[in-house]
């Protein structure tokens, strides 16, 4: 079964302007949070990198998804970098939120759904570079 890694948990009624209902992401796999809602990756990047590496240790770039549903944008950057480092082929799958729109006005109506997207970050890599990456990845686990 796939895992959906949500970068940062929401704080209901918290200090952030927006909290998002991520339950629609459950249809893509088991939900796991990488950072607690009150944690600030930008204030403690070394701690955030270590936490992301721990949380993503079982990350499978062919099966799992990443979701950014608000929070500290530094968390998104850190998780993306760690996920890329752990991927065997340079691909990262994420879920993009798509607002449902009123057919007449085209205005967002407050509901929506996730769309799976695969981002190829290593398009320029050669086959030998990918083989080296796979070898290094397997030996580091």
Query: What is the mean pLDDT of each successive set of 10 residues along the chain, which is 141 residues long?
Result: 92 59 92 92 94 95 92 92 87 89 77 89 58 59 53
Q: What is the reported pTM?
A: 0.78
DSSP 54-107: HHTTT--TTT-EEE--SS-HHHHHHHHHHHHHH-SSSEEEEEEEEEEE-TTT--
Structural contact between residues 66 and 42, judged by C-beta atoms closer than 8 angstroms: no
Domain that holds residue 129: 3-140
What is the SS3 assignment for 5?
Answer: strand
Number of domains in the chain: 1
């Amino acid at each position: 079964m796939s895992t959906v890694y949500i970068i940062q948990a929401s704080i209901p009624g918290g200090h952030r302007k927006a909290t998002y209902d991520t339950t629609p992401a459950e249809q893509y796999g088991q939900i796991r949070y990488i950072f607690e809602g009150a944690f600030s990756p930008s204030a403690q990047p070394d701690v955030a990198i270590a936490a992301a590496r721990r949380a993503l240790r079982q990350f499978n770039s062919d099966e799992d998804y990443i979701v950014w549903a608000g929070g500290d944008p530094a968390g998104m950057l850190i998780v993306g970098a760690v996920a890329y480092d752990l991927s065997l082929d340079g691909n990262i799958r994420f879920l993009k939120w798509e607002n449902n729109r009123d057919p007449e006005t085209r205005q967002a109506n407050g509901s929506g759904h996730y769309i799976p997207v695969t981002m190829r970050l290593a398009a320029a890599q050669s086959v030998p570079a990918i083989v080296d990456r796979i070898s290094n990845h397997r030996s580091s686990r």
